[in-house]
Amino acid sequence: MLIYALIPLRTGSIRIKNKNFFKIKKKSVYSYSTYQALKSRLIKKVFIATNSKKIKIKHRKLSIFKRSKKSNTKKASTEIVVEEFLKNNICDYLVLIQATNLFIKTKYIDLAIKKLINNKKKYDSLLSVVKSKYFIWQRYKDLIVSKNYGLKKRPRSQDIKENEFIENGSFYIFSRKKFLKSKNRLHGKITYFEMSKESIFELDEKEDLQIIKKLI
């Protein structure tokens, strides 16, 4: 079973310029997830998909996948990068890792891989999540509507159903064959891997930076 990891990286981020190269406790943001992936015994090789020359990590398992002009634009989706990579690299499964989530751990990656691989007849793809214990509302014009409880039967927070989750954007796992068919990281019968509560924070807005610095 050949398993690769892919970490897409762009130098010019839209909301926070060069956020992947910010220093948090003397380490670049991208290095947190990269080192955790490199320590996995199940991942054969880790690729950083980038055109940047700022990558400083040297490791026998690490390679750079040079993105094309098409996949390196601000409007290019992650799916375009993944498709480009998988058309040029043969593997059985791919672990897609988001560099901006600094709370990923090797043990999470390996346990998630085992969950999907050992149940490949049952599941097609997997994503990392955090359990939701919140009252969720959705905006409708200038009003908001409750999504997960009835107003006449307001539950206690500890009574909120245990089967609701929030996607934390840490990692996704799927087969090369099924991705190239669906063109989507999540497809077929989707399962999950639950991570720790703090992993809901990823570096996406400027406010996230201060929160992450306190939690790391």
| Domain boundaries along the sequence of the chain | 3-215
Mean pLDDT along residues 185-196: 96
CATH architecture of the domain covering 3-215: Alpha-Beta Complex (3.90)
pLDDT bracket for residue 74 (50, 70, 90): confident
Contact by Cβ (8 Å): 93, 5: no
Query: Could you tell me the pLDDT band of residue 190, with boundaries at 50, 70 and 90?
Result: very high
pLDDT at 12: 62
0.85 exceeded by pTM:
yes
Distances (CA, A) of 212 to 17, 68, 107: 17, 32, 20
Confidence grade of residue 163 (pLDDT, cut at 50, 70, 90): confident
Q: Give residue-wise pLDDT tens across range 8-60.
A: 987 766 666 778 887 888 888 899 999 999 999 999 999 999 988 888 888 99
97 vs 46: CA distance, rounded Å: 10
Q: Which residues contact 33 (CB under 8 A, 6 or more apart)?
A: 7, 97, 98, 99, 101, 102, 104
pLDDT for position 148: 78
Q: Where are the beta strands (DSSP E) in the chain?
A: 3-8, 23-24, 27-28, 45-49, 62-65, 93-97, 125-131, 137-140, 143-146, 165-175, 190-194
Range scoring the smallest mean pLDDT among 21-25, 77-81, 173-177, 212-216: 212-216
pLDDT digits (tens, 9 = 90+) for 113-153: 999 999 999 999 999 999 887 888 899 889 999 887 888 88
Q: Which residue has the higher pLDDT, 215 or 151?
A: 151
Q: How high is the mean pLDDT of the chain? A: 89
pLDDT (0 to 100) of residue 26: 84
Select the highest-mean-pLDDT range: 19-28, 76-85, 156-165: 76-85
